[in-house]
Structures are given as structure tokens and as C-alpha cells.
Amino acid sequence: MGFPDRIERTVEVAHPPGKVWAALTTAEGLGAWFGDEATIDLRPGGSARMRFSSGFTVDMRVERVEEPAVFGFTWQIYGLPEDDPRRTYVEFTLEPTGAGTRLRVVETGFAQLPEDAYRAAYDGNTKGWASELGELADYLDAA
Amino acid sequence: MPPDIEAIAEQVFVALADPTRRAILAALASGGPATATDLAARLPITRQAIAKHLALLAEVGLVTAEHGERRRVRYRLRSAPMQVAQQFLAALARDWDRPLEALTEHLDRSTREPTTTPLEEARGHHA
């Protein structure tokens, strides 16, 4: 039962939600505190990208935009190959408090396992790559 | 039925906890499929010990046995369970504490330095 699927943090900041919202959802904001450079198309389905000084870049897909309360996006799972289709979902929730904003970030989806990956992980004992390469050869022959 | 990804990850970590099995998996990863005899030539481990570990690794699906030339069994690394284990590690490696601290600092900083931006702030933004 130890596979972590959900990561959650809450911080209280002494700034109004509008200001926090701008830091989370604009290229200037994201580039200032998160990445070293950012682009964002702020609408559901829009794409965003952050570049880090290390040269690492991450692509995000904007999912929820409810100014100034909820901002959600999906992004690649850090540490997995770039072409891996798996994504985690990150959601920021901004709640006004007397002194500023309660900001909550929840990232979920680490424990997801698509059907094909499940099959691949479990069923290869008998099958394996030998036959997969055979299928590739068949495919190439047929093409 | 939810797939038991924890069981898969656990098998990977158990396999990797043993230095001999790590060496075998590393050899298969870097050099491609090999027989127990091939591996014994490359690693400072007896063929017998290697065969024993390979049987265990095949049982949990981390390597797959295939029949090579002259009825020799070759072993090939299976990457799918490794990718599941990577997911587990990704969750542990995900650091939200530092970015959130940076966000707080960023918000505080931009309050102290309002519309009349100091020179270094301007340089920072247009670099």
C-alpha cells in the first residue's frame, strides 16, 4: 500500500489571490519562480512550457482555468522518458484568507498504469520481445 | 481490477537490492541479451550463481528467456517493470517544497520592489 499516488502541500502566503494567480498562470510569473523561462496559453487545452537553466524543459497542458481560484494542468512524469505518454495532474487551489491566500497544490496520477503498460509489465514471461520483434518484422514485410 | 503496480515495483526493488542481480541486469541493459555462460565470462560470479539469479529474475518477469542458437537459452531484460518502478521513484523525487518556497519568495520580493523596478530586476527580466 505504499505506492504514492497523490502529493499535497498547502502554504499560506501574505498576498491576495489575484497576485498569486498571476504568479501561477503567466509566463512572467512562472518564469520568475518556477522555471527560468516559460510560455503559456492560458485556456483549457492550451499548452505551456517551462525551461530550466539546466537545459531541461517540461511541457504542460492547461486543463482548468477558474480565475482566481483553480488552475490545473497535466505534465510529463519527471524521470520518465520524454515519449512516455503518462502524465500527472497538478491542481492549484487559491482560497482567500484574512491575511492573504491559502494555496494548495495537489499532484495526482503517479500510480496510474494504463492497460497496455499493465499488460506489458505482467504478461511478458511467456511472450517477450522475441515475438514482438517478430510482429515488427511481419509488419515491415507487409508494408 | 486495479493492477497491482505496487507488487511490480516491489519486485524491481527486491531484484535491485542484490548486488549480483544488479550486475546481471546492468550487463543485460548495456550489452543486450546474453546466456548465463556469456554473463559468467563478463562478471566475477560463477555461472551457477548467475543461472540461479536469472531463474529468479525470469520468474518475476524482469528478464525473459528466449531460445538462441544451439539450444542455448538467452536472457533479455524486460523494461516494462522498470518503468513502473520509475513511476514510484518519480513520486518520491517530486519536490514541491522548494518551488513553493521560491513562489513565496517571489511574491514577497515583488511586493518590496513595486512598480519602480530596480536596475537588477530589469536586467533579470530582459536577460
For A77-116, write each residue's pLDDT tens digit: 877 777 888 899 999 999 999 989 999 999 999 887 655 5
Report which DSSP code applies to A1: -
pTM beyond 0.80, yes or no:
no
Could you say which residues of chain A have pLDDT below 70? Answer: 1, 113-143
Q: How many domains does chain B have?
A: 2
Reply yes or no: is the peptide bond before residue B99 cis, omega within 30 of 0.
no
Rounded CA gap, A131 and B71, in Å? Answer: 17
A30 and A50 belong to one structural domain:
yes
Helix, strand, or coil (residue A101): strand
Name which of B62, B73, B103 to mutate to probe chain A: the one with the most chain A Cβ atoms within 10 A of its Cβ.
Answer: B103
Question: Which residue from B5, B96, B111 is facing A111, i.e. has the nearest CB?
Answer: B5
A93 and A54 belong to one structural domain:
yes
Rounded CA gap, B17 and B62, in Å? Answer: 14
Name which of A101, A123, A125, A127 to mutate to probe chain B: the one with the most chain B Cβ atoms within 10 A of its Cβ.
Answer: A125
Residues of A in Cβ contact (< 8 Å) with B111: 15
Residues of A in Cβ contact (< 8 Å) with B92: 4
More confident position, A124 or B6: B6
Q: Cβ distance A103 to A13 under 8 Å? A: yes
Rounded CA gap, A39 and A26, in Å? Answer: 8
Can you tell me the ipTM of this complex? 0.78
Residues of B in Cβ contact (< 8 Å) with A130: 64, 66, 76
Range of the domain at A79: 6-110
Range of the domain at B99: 95-126
Q: How many domains does chain A have?
A: 2
Q: Is residue A102 part of a domain?
A: yes
